Amino acid sequence: MRSPKQSPVELKQSLRLWQLVASGVGIVVGAGIYVLVGQAAADAGGLLWVSFLVSGALAALTGLSYAELAALFPRAGAEYEFARQAFGESIGFMAGWMMVGALLVGAAAVAVGFAHYVQWFVDVDLRVAAIGLIVALTLLVIAGLERSIWLSVALVAVQVGGLLVVIVAGAPHLGDESLREGAGIGGVMSAAALVFFAFIGFDEVVTLSEETRDPARSVPRALLLTLGISTLLYIAVGVVAVSAVGAAALGRSDQPLGLVMEQDIGSRAGDVIAAIALASTTNTTLLVLTAGARMIFSMARGNVLPPVFARLTPGARTPWLAALAGAAVAIPFTLSGRIELIAQVTNFAIYVLFVGVNLAVIRLRQRRPDLPRRFRAPFEVRSVPLTAALGVVTSVFLLFYIERAAWVLGLLMVASGVAAWLASPYLGRGGAGPMTDE
């Protein structure tokens, strides 16, 4: 029973479509393009741009499923809410658990990417820089979404502007290196499986649903706009980066886009891109930590995590304990310093989630056909949207291009989720809902 000093509250609705798109692009355009493009080039060679195209197309299949579900259930829990509606509480819990894991491990990966670019300027331990970033941004998340969203919008302008500078600077080199030669289909798919991390984030627009005006209309549009803008930017950058310095040089660099600018214009230009990369990875980390805190909050509000994580600050109405818990999970993953491994663990969780999201669309079409759908995934055959079915197949396919260590860590994430569900009745499941501290 709630204390008389505690009262249920809702998240404040204040975000518009353009702010959602800015947030989505801010999450997506981060470490994936500024850091992982080098490793992807080593795998795919001159066909790097094809890997981005493949990843973008596969993300679009599941993006259509997200758009339909977001219009049906515009709540902060996203994957947790979708799976709960389609399959029940236990599967909903596992979906939420995997999404929390993906977000927080992803935050660690992007923070390590940030640390790599810090080293462009100063000699600092990767782990110290990454942990410092996570701590600082967690405090900003607690301060309130309206403050952090305006910082995010400003940083999005900087990071997209940086990619446009790379595209313009590298455009004169088109034709200098082959864009049709690489490591074959195996290399392209390995790179596609890796750079899929660069697309993670378009779905996190859904976690802001409860803080959005007219979410059933705005969120699906923001999802698809985010994915389209990001894919076009990635393909263009992949083409000019390979053209300017070659796939082999990209593959050897920890700051690949800084190398592109340094090669073309000089060391000072590399400094500019490195600074923009710092802004980009900072913004992505901020937005991923924000999304992770909202997912933990939503699950606590649904009484499948301890209700204490549903506590909100009285002024800004932010889930402060959920934000602190998120930081506590993210920080240990920075200690390896291996961004490619951390990214692939995130990808494992995301592929599993994408299978669940697409299956949720199919199940709800069949079991609850009368739900008012303001957006529908296209090309339906016998109540099965073909894009969702293809989304299931392609997500499973990409799992087989993830390295063994990432599989092990991903399966440990699944096992920990099962253990947490079994233990949750003893950890406060079924308690009070959201409340503010006074």
pLDDT of the residue at 209: 64
- Residue 436 belongs to a domain: no
Query: Cα angle at 279 between 276 and 285, to 5 degrees?
Result: 140
Short-list 208, 196, 126, CA closest to 344: 196
pLDDT of the residue at 66: 86
- Residue 434 belongs to a domain: no
DSSP at 384: E
Q: Which helix H or strand E contains 337, and what residues bound it?
A: none
Count other C-beta atoms under 10 Å from residue 12's C-beta: 14
Q: How far apart are CA 311 and CA 435, in angstroms?
A: 5
- Residue 18 belongs to a domain: no
- Residue 2 belongs to a domain: no
Number of domains the chain is built from: 1
Judge whether 103 and 204 are in contact, CB under 8 Å: yes
- Residue 268 belongs to a domain: yes
Distances in whole angstroms, Cα of residue 14 to Cα of each of 69, 150, 209, 216, 298: 21, 12, 10, 14, 18
- Residue 17 belongs to a domain: no
pTM for the complete prediction?
Answer: 0.77
Q: Which domain holds residue 133?
A: 26-428
State the 10-residue block means of pLDDT for the chain, 438 residues long.
Answer: 41 66 75 78 91 89 87 72 88 89 89 88 90 92 68 75 86 84 83 83 68 71 86 91 89 81 72 82 83 83 82 75 91 84 88 93 91 84 90 90 89 92 68 42
Strand partners, 212: 15
pLDDT of the residue at 356: 93
Strand partners, 182: 45
> For residue 126, what is the domain's CATH number?
1.20.1740.10
pLDDT of the residue at 186: 85
pLDDT of the residue at 338: 79
pLDDT of the residue at 12: 52
pLDDT of the residue at 1: 34
- Residue 21 belongs to a domain: no
Q: How far apart are CA 145 and CA 13, in angstroms?
A: 11
- Residue 435 belongs to a domain: no
